Each structure stands twice: as C-alpha cells, then as structure tokens.
A and B are shown apart, each in its own frame.
Chain A
Amino acid sequence: MITFEAVTKRYPDGTVAVDALDLEVPVGKTVVLVGPSGCGKTTSLRMVNRLVEPTEGRILLDGKDIREQNPAKLRRGIGYVIQQTGLFPHRTVEDNIATVPVLNGWRRQKARDRARELLTTVGLDPELARRYPYQLSGGQQQRVGVARALAADPPVLLMDEPFSAVDPVVRASLQDELITLQRELQKTILFVTHDIEEAIKVGDLVALFRPHGKIAQFDTPERLLGDPVDDYVAGFVGFDRGIRRLSFFTSQGLSLNTGPVQSADTTVATAQASGESWILVTDGGKPSGWVPADSLAGQPGSTPLSQLAAEPVGHTFTVGTDSLRAALDAAVLSPAGQAVGVDDDGQAVGVATFDQLRAAIQAAERAAEAAAAASSQPADATTDETDNSKKRDPGQPGVQPGVQSAPSGAQP
C-alpha cells in the first residue's frame, strides 16, 4: 500500500507542483493519476521512489516512511516503467531485464534465466533475449521495460505514461495485457497518464488532477464518468461520457428477441409468418446476414432463406461478456438497427432493439445509483468502493459485480 499524507512539492521558485496531496493506493490495485500536463501527476509518482523529494508531508510504503530507507534499496523494491522506456542501449534485452536481480546480487546466469521467463510473461519471444534495444520495435521495447520492472518481483510498480509513445493499436494491446497481467500478479500499481480513456480502462481507481497538484475527484472510473463532481471533471472526462460509461454495464440484463433468428434452410413462407421486419439468417447457428421482410414478398414460399440476398451482419456482441456499449454499437452499425447477440462460441442467441437497449441501460443506471447510495459516505468512496469496484478484464469489458446483481427489469 502506498499512502500520501499531505504531500506538498514546492520548487525554489515558488511553483507548487503538488499541493497537500492525500492519496492511498490499496494493495493489489491500480490507481491512475490523470490530468493535464503540469498538474503534478508525474511529480507525485516520482516522489514514491524518491527521484523527487517532497517539501512537506510524508509518503508511506506499507506503513513505513520511505525516507527511513536507503534510496537505492528502496528503489530496487519498486518497479519503474517510463514512456521513453529508459532501456540501457548498451545491454541486451536479457541483461536489461536482469538489471535489478543482478543489483540484488543474483548470479548473472540465474538472472538471465529469470529474464527469459519474463519475456514470455510480457508476450515476447524468448528468442529476442540476445538482441539490443535498437533492434526492437517501440511496442517490444515497452514490453521489455515492463519485464525489467517486474524482474525482481517488486510488490509495487510505478508506471509513468508507459504506453504514450506507441501507436494506438499497440497501445490498446499493451493496455489489455497489463490488465490481464495485473489480474494474475496483483501488484500495487501507481499509473500516470494524460489520457482519460487509458485511465478509465486500466484503473481500479482514478485520481483526476487539477492544474497545480490538487485532486479534483478520486473515484472509480465508472463514477467518474457517471457522476463527475464538477464541470472541470465533466469537461476532462469528455462529452461522450454517457456512452463510454456504458462500458461498465454488462449486457447480461439485456432482453433478447429470438423471433427474427432463422436458420438458412427456413422457407420464405415460414419467415413471413414470423411477422418480423428483418430476418437474421443463421448458418450452422452463426449469424450470416440480415434479410429485410420487404424482399421476401414476391418470392416463392418454398424458397430457403439461404438463396436470398442478405446484408452483412456487421459486428456482434457476446451476451453477458460484452458491455452495453458494445451492444449499442452493434445496433447502431446493424442494417436492421438491431444488435446481434452471440454466445461464446459465436452462435446467435437473439437480437436486441434500441428499445430493449434503452430499457437495459435505464435498469443498469438505477442499479448503479442504488449502489452509490448504499456506500454511506460518497466522499470517502475511495476506500469503501475499492472492494466492490470492478476490474474489467479485456475479454470482459462489461462484467461488474455491482451491476450484475441488479434487477434486470428490462424484459418487455
């Protein structure tokens, strides 16, 4: 656990970088510091491993004041990842990763074995062990940076804009992998970014900074989107926060229609009898295309649906696993205006209309409000909420215990 107690950093010229910061990073959780540049988030992070010394206040690591420890020893127990990677250009990948174990007195070979192990952990080919950093892509370098931070298995990780310098596709996969890795490793992570999307994606808790080192709101990502404390927070979070917040609502409670779902060998006559305006044709259970009811008219009643021209399904959502945001997106992009829900094997389960989506969203909102009201002191939500706060995993963006248990009164 990292605890900031009234920590202030004032520079000799009078600039206040961090202003009486109180913050707690619970064990095994990811806390993201986010804010505009110059808001003191990086300074706050660097005070934890004493790259910057606070002017006032103190920082505790598991209850011990960090100033009582030798800086070099302290730092070896804290993993550190930065944007520019800071890899040592003159050392091979394995020797870069082995840095802290070697400093801790491991034999080089043992440290290198550990390094190869970690390459796999961060999703790199152990074959890369003997390469030099310049021979790697930006994304690979960043992974090596993460592996190096993990090498001595420190309980605490500091990550300073670790993914900001790579392209968006690589960034998204690095974020996903961090989330997966974190679920397994349960490190106490302090993560700095200027990207609110990233903060919401990777954080269990997000501290949104104002300029000059004051926290505007410290909350779960979901509440930051759903219940910003003021215009500054709302503005920083973005105008589409309503839509983005749907990422936190599971599609579990969404009711689905099975009427329009017809297999490819169903006849036109049967399809017409269903009275649906669009028919979702499935092939071997998997959705293969949408057929408008209009095009059924004038066809011989015995024609199987597979012989009709169909419009592409577009993308589907996995029921229960994906969020309402994914379901809404599927509906918006569907030619039929309906979201196609599939199970884990890709078999069509049913479709949802905008009305059904709206009902599910409203139910989820009510459940979230009830959960918020249940936590006695909203201002102190930071610690209370931690226990039942969701950790979305990359494959399951919508799963959230608090909402899952909510009544899904969306059935029409």
Chain B
Amino acid sequence: MSWSWIPQNWSLIWQLTWENAKLGVLSAIYGLIISIPLGVIAARFRWFYPPTLAVVSIIYAVPSLALWIALIPAFGLTDTTVIIGLTAFSLCVILPNVVAGLRAVPAPVRQAATAMGYGPTRRLVTVELPLAAPVIIGGLRVGVVSSISLASLGQLIGVSSLSYLFIDGLQRSFPTEIIVGLVCVIVLAVVCDLVLVGVRRALTPWQPRRQVAIAQWTGMQRAALRRRPA
C-alpha cells in the first residue's frame, strides 16, 4: 500500500468518484421516474403488471456489458449508453416496490379517501403515493447502491468511472490503486444509502418506529431478491 499515491492523485480520485456517483444516482432517479407511472398503471390494472414484469425481468437478466454493447451503435461510447443501461436495471428493482407499496395502502384508507370526495388523481398524489413512499424508498436504496457499483464498470466501454482505477491498477500491478477504487465505490454507495434513509425519515414522521423497520425490511428483502450481482 503506497499511501503517498493518494494525495498525489487526489483530483483524479475525486473526479472519478464524482463521475461514478453521477452515473449511478442519475440512473436510479430515472429508474424511479419511469417506475412510478408504470407502477401506478400496474397497481390500477392488474393485467398490466405480469407482462411488464416479464419484460423488465428479461432486461434484468441481460449482462450489463452486453446491454451497453448493444446500445453503442445508437449512442456511442457515452454516458448516455451507461445511463440507459443502468436505468433499465434500477427500474427492475424499483418497479416491483412501487407496485407493492401502492397495493399495501390499506383498503379502508383508500375507500375513506374516495368517500371524502377525492378524485382518483388527487387521491393518488396526496394519499396513496405518500403512503407507499417507505416501500418505494426501500427499492430506491437497493437501486442506487447497485447502480453505483454497476456504473463503476463504465470504464470498460470508455466511460470515465472508478473502474479506471481497477483496470489501471491491474495493468500496472499496483494494488494501492485497486484498493482505493474499491473503497471509493463502497463509501459512495454507503453515503447514498444513508442519504436515502434520512430522506425516508424526513418524509414519514407518521410511522411508528417498529413499523418502519418492518416496512423497510420487507422492501429491502423484495428488492434484494432482484438484486443482480455486479
């Protein structure tokens, strides 16, 4: 371990970490943005969900590198290629949680909202989505973490990310660089996860703490089952 390497290459490490974070977080956010309408439709029309889930699962089964390569002719060796691929993957993790979260809204609550005089859209936005938020965020957490670790592979198609350190370290037989890259990916993922825990806490002051633990646990379990090895 050559400690002096770190300060000498600080700006490179920082830049790669930032690029990696951007790719991972943006992909997860896009995944969330697409998941919500799809999830709403799937929760509303039951027939819609199985085929959607099938398509999403097939995409999920494609190795990320293969998917990127397939996208290169259209989008080149760019961030866009990486983000499209990762968005598709995080979608696979987040969508089931959106559906599960919406379906978990208690029927009496939904019925009461209707009986109070809410129209369907207002009910969705002000009652159902807020109540589904803890489960959706549970999925988003897994989505962000896996996107960040997958994004580090971007260097394989020439998109700047932390895997540069792995490849470079390997080629130069310089373990320090590999270890630094690894630590950065992990720290980045943990930080993003903690931020989301904070967001969830801020959004759900209405949940008893024990229930939070359960909702989170089930949400994470559900998502973890769909987690792909990076």
Q: Which residues of A contact B (CB under 8 A)?
A: 49, 51, 72-76, 78, 80, 82-92, 99-100, 103, 132-135, 148, 158
Contacts and interface: CB of A to CB of B under 8 A. Distances in A.
A89 B117 contact: no
A84 B108 contact: yes
Interface stretch (B5-13, B36-44, B72-80, B201-209): B201-209
A113 to B, nearest CB: 19
Interface of B: 106, 108-109, 111-119, 127, 130-131, 204-208, 211
Contacts of B127: 88, 90
Contact of B206 (A49, A72, A91, A103): A91
B117 A82 contact: no
Nearest to B119: A72
Contacts of A86: 106, 108-109, 111-113, 115
B114 A99 contact: no
A410 to B, nearest CB: 50
Interface residues of B, dominant DSSP: helix
Nearest to A131: B206
Contacts of A83: 108
Interface residues of A, dominant DSSP: mixed
A133 B106 CA distance: 14
A72 B117 contact: yes
B20 to A, nearest CB: 35
5 contacts: A51-B114, A72-B117, A88-B112, A88-B131, A90-B206
Contacts of A99: 116
A76 B116 contact: yes
A80 B115 contact: yes
Given A86-B112, A92-B206, A134-B206, 11 more contacts: A72-B117, A74-B117, A75-B115, A80-B112, A86-B111, A88-B131, A89-B106, A90-B127, A91-B206, A100-B117, A135-B208
A82 B114 contact: no
B197 to A, nearest CB: 18
Contacts of A134: 206-208, 211
A135 B206 CA distance: 9
Contacts of B115: 49, 51, 75, 78, 80, 82, 86, 158
Contacts of B130: 90
A88 B113 contact: yes
